Chain A
Amino acid sequence: MIVLRYPSRALVGDYLRSGAGLVVGLGVLIVVPPNIPVVVIFGGIAVLFGVFGLRTLQRQKLEVALTENEIACRGLGTKVLAWSDLDFMRLRYFGRRGKRGVFGAGFMELKLKGAGTAFTFESSLEGFEKVAEMAARSYKNNGLSLDPATASNLIDLGIDSDAAVGCDSPPNVL
């Protein structure tokens, strides 16, 4: 079993973003006499960044356990998904405007669903590639085909989704 976590240094940026958003949202609500547009816009910003902060906190507590048969997450609650139940997989890349280097090159997001359970991981998760690789292999083993964008993003992570069903991962026929 492999246990993965979001490293603290990767979450610092999200905490800072959440704090900055809350300062702006709540700051304007305090400084400016309240009226409906101000409350809606800046209250909305404060709520959004509050939720973002809570999600970052949840990520800090999150532990992802990987085995050959299932993936499990323990944070505020516990969720388990057997690889054989996986029926949805999507790997998306969110780029950023401007040059790389200043704000980084963007990040990837992996969504997994099956048996009424859903997981979302960002590429800042330690061992993200391992999760993506195992998910892709299971997805193929379940007889499902990946969408082109997911397949291309997997290749960019160094995972050949077509080869995933090959020699590395023989189907369990014995």
Chain B
Amino acid sequence: MLSYFARRLLVMIPTLLVISLVVFFIIQLPPGDYLETLIAEEQARGETVDQERIAFLREQYGLDKPMIEQYWIWLLGLLQGDLGYSFEFELPVVEVIGDRFWFTVVLALATTLFTYILSFPIGIYSAVRQYSVGDYAATFVGYFGLAMPNFLFALVLLYYANVWFGLSIGGLMDPQYIGAPWTVDKVISVINHLWIPMLVIGTSGTAAMIRRLRANMLDELQRQYVITARAKGLSPMKIILKYPLRLALNPFIADIGMILPQVVSGAALVSVVMDLPTNGPLLLRSLQSQDMYLAGAFLMFEATLVVIGVFISDILLAMLDPRIRLGGASSK
């Protein structure tokens, strides 16, 4: 296991380095930089551009240095937790992201829990009671969740919550708590608002997970070892829980690699529609305004979380799932 761990970890390091290089060059790709955009904006407004100030800013942010040197400074900064400076907000990126990061984490965790808690029993029931009324109902919900785009579901919920109940369900807290210090009332307000985006974002994931768990379970339930276990008189519950369910869990574990990046992107479209103070809208805004260090921090963080997520899921799968070599020679 140590060998496997070391080998996988060693693959991660060059992967992250290459990703950082690609991310940095991608954020440099658009013609010009933020300061040139600033100059163009000031000229468009008919204001005189203070060249000395621009030169000072260029030197201050290291934009006058060769690209490779800029990359090296950025990389060293990342390693020290310095994500750079946001030109648009004129603040360090860490301060710009601020509470948004934690809101996104809470929302991503709540959504993940919602997805797992709901899809787990429904998926198993749907497979064990195949073609029953319950299975058809779960299938209908599954296809509905898959077919309905999240942002559309958000719009529909926003509309009907307002028309039927007179409620404004946008945002992640009541307006009076925005920017206010953290209190018990503010936490309660966040919890009260959390279920709507959790429902909206989680529906499609839940639906997909139900379908996958059902398909995997059906596959396993038809295996010979299950028939043998039944013939030997093992209780139905034990048969399901001991092997088929364990094997059908693999997609859940493999999904960890995809869950972590959501912490950063935070379902951007839904966040825009529902006015959620998560990372998603900020990422979109930074890309539009060429706020390179803010966008770069998000992209780098997201890529890092993908790599870490895949690493964790690989290690968990190696621990939980006894692998069988199928043909070919293992390396010596």
Binding site for B on A (CB under 8 A): 7, 10, 14, 17-18, 20-21, 24, 28, 31-33, 35, 37-38, 45, 48-49, 51-52, 55, 90, 92-97, 100, 103-109, 122-124, 147-150, 152-153, 156
The answer to whether B330 touches A106 (Cβ under 8 A) is: yes
Apart from A52-B3, A106-B331, A149-B323: 14 A-B pairs, beta carbons within 8 A: A21-B9, A28-B79, A48-B5, A49-B6, A90-B322, A92-B323, A93-B330, A94-B4, A94-B323, A95-B323, A107-B3, A108-B325, A123-B331, A156-B326
Question: How many B residues are at the interface, by size bracket?
Answer: 20 to 34
Complex interface: chain A residues within 8 A of B79 (CB): 28, 32, 38
- Whether A124 pairs with B323 at a CB distance below 8 angstroms is no
Write out the residue numbers on chain B whose beta carbons fall within 8 Å of the beta carbon of A149: 322-324
Contact of B9 among A10, A45, A107 (CB under 8 A): A45
Contacts of A51 in B (CB 8 A): 2
Q: Which of B275-332 contact A (CB under 8 A)?
A: 314, 318, 322-332
Q: Does B45 contact A (CB under 8 A)?
A: no
Residue of B whose beta carbon sits closest to that of A41: B79
A-B contact pairs, 24 of them (CB 8 A): A14-B3, A17-B7, A20-B13, A33-B80, A38-B79, A38-B80, A48-B6, A48-B9, A52-B2, A90-B322, A93-B324, A94-B4, A95-B323, A95-B325, A105-B328, A105-B330, A107-B331, A109-B3, A123-B331, A149-B323, A149-B324, A153-B325, A156-B324, A156-B327
**How far, in Å, is B328 (CB) from chain A's closest CB?**
5
- Cα of A93 to Cα of B13 in the assembled complex, Å: 24
The digit string for B2-19, where 1 denotes a CB below 8 A from any CB of A, is 111111011001000000
In the complex, the chain B residue whose C-beta lies closest to that of A35 is B80
Give Cα A139 to B115, complex, Å.
Answer: 43
Compute how far the CA of A123 lies from the CA of B325 in the bound complex, rounded to whole angstroms: 12
Among A10, A45, A55, A94, the one with the most B-chain Cβ atoms within 10 Å of its Cβ is: A94
Q: Name B residues whose Cβ lies closer than 8 Å to a Cβ of A.
A: 1-7, 9-10, 13, 76, 79-81, 225, 314, 318, 322-332
Q: Which of B2, B6, B326 has the most CB of A within 10 A?
A: B6
CB-based nearest A residue for B321: A149
Specify which chain A residues have a CB less than 8 angstroms from the CB of B9 in the assembled complex: 21, 45, 48
Q: Are B10 and A17 in contact (CB under 8 A)?
A: yes
A33: nearest residue on chain B (CB-CB)? B80
Residue of A nearest to B82 (CB): A35
Q: Are the CB atoms of B323 and A17 closer together than 8 Å?
A: no
Contact check, A107 vs B81: say whether CB atoms are below 8 A apart. Answer: no
Q: Given that A31-B76, A51-B2, A52-B2 are known contacts, is A152 also in contact with B329, CB under 8 Å in the complex?
A: no
Q: Is the Cβ of A94 less than 8 Å from the Cβ of B318?
A: yes
Chain B residues, CB < 8 A from A100 = 328
Q: Which residues of B contact A104 (CB under 8 A)?
A: 330-331
Q: List the A residue with the shortest CB-CB distance to B327.
A: A156
Contacts of A7 in B (CB 8 A): 332
Complex interface: chain A residues within 8 A of B331 (CB): 103-107, 123-124
